[in-house]
Amino acid sequence: MAVFLTGSSFSLKKTVQPVETGILKMVFLNTANGKPVVLRDSIYNNYFGEQYRINKLKYYISNILLTGKNVHNKMGIYYLVNAANDENAIELILPEGKYYNLTFLLGVDSIKNCSGAQTDALDPMNDMFWTWNTGYVMFKLEGTSDASNADLQRIEHHVGGYKGDHNVVTKIDFTFMDSPWIEIKKNKVTEILIEMNLDNYWHGNSEIKISQLPVCTTIGMLAKNVSANFKNLFSIKTISTLP
């Protein structure tokens, strides 16, 4: 305690100008067919006219990077978006100012896949971890479809792989050429609503038909094919400063 008192008296003498900060709240909204995803309920159509229901939808967001006057690296943040949550939001404290670039990874970087037991979002208890071939499931979609020829007509996509040719981790990059910038204001919350549109999961760079790929639960070329569409999953709906 004595040390603490001494420490605080020293810090009073410093004359560093405090950086004014605000909060960036990244909200993830999962949609399909133009509607918010509702688990175990709604029926959706994919690009090929295959109908499906969704029972589980989970994916990792990590390595968030914001660029304004300076680059702000939020490498330490790992967030598991889960459609079962009421809201999926990441809150970041940032210096006030305008930011013209936002990037993040869909998935978990290779370092965290190789560094042993993790906790919080990366806890293997979140059921996003392969125990027999170490690595995180980056994107998990489970459901059912009449188009599926798998047992119980299930869809089971556990998309993962962090090494070499099997790496499915995808960098999502938003550059704001002009307004709306992401503007962080002192002591205010700026909310950026990011839509993850499942309609783009099935087509784009590769065609993922439920009839052909009802189950994909290992690393490999099939998972890599699925991940080819990851880049187009995300778009920014709105950016607003909350009152």
Partner 1 sequence: MKKNVVISISLFIVVSLTLIAAMHDDGYGPYDPTVLKLEIPPDWPKPPTDIYLNNKLTEQGFQLGKKLFYDGRLSKDGEVSCAGCHQQFAAFATFDHDLSHGVNNGFSTRNAPGLFNLAWMTELHWDGGINHIEVQPLAPITAKNEMGETLDSILFKIKKDTAYKRMFKAAFGDAAINSQRMLKAIAQFTGTLVSANSKYDKVKRGEAVFTSFEERGYEVFKVKCASCHKEPLFTDNSYRNNGLPLNRFFDIGRQGITQLSSDSLKFKVPSLRNAQVTFPYMHDGRIYSIPQVIEHYRSGIITDQPTLDSLLRNRISLTNLEKNQLVYFIYTLTDSSFNKNKRYAPSGNYGILNPGLDKH
- For residue 9 the two structure tokens come to 């008296």
| Min CB(50)–partner 1 separation in Å | 27
| Min CB(124)–partner 1 separation in Å | 6
Using rule CB under 8 A, residue 42 touches partner 1: no
For residue 151, how many other CB atoms are within 10 A of its CB? Answer: 9
Name residues contacting partner 1, limited to 139-178 (CB under 8 A).
166
Which residue is it, tokens 């070329």?
Answer: 221
3-state secondary structure of 172: strand
Of 31-39, 88-96, 131-139, 146-154, which segment contacts partner 1 by CB under 8 A? 131-139
Number of amino acids touching partner 1 (CB under 8 A): 23
C-alpha–C-alpha distance, residues 49 and 44, integer Å: 9
Binding mask 57-96 for partner 1 (x = CB under 8 A): ----------------------------------------
| Min CB(177)–partner 1 separation in Å | 41
Of 9-17, 37-45, 71-79, 118-126, which segment contacts partner 1 by CB under 8 A? 118-126
| Min CB(122)–partner 1 separation in Å | 9
* Beta carbons within 8 Å of 97's beta carbon, 6+ residues apart: 68, 69, 183, 184
CB 65 within 8 Å of CB 74: yes
C-alpha–C-alpha distance, residues 91 and 78, integer Å: 12
Which residue is it, tokens 């699925």?
Answer: 226
Q: Please give the residue ranges that form the binding site for partner 1 (CB under 8 A).
A: 1-2, 113-119, 123-125, 129, 131-135, 166, 218-221
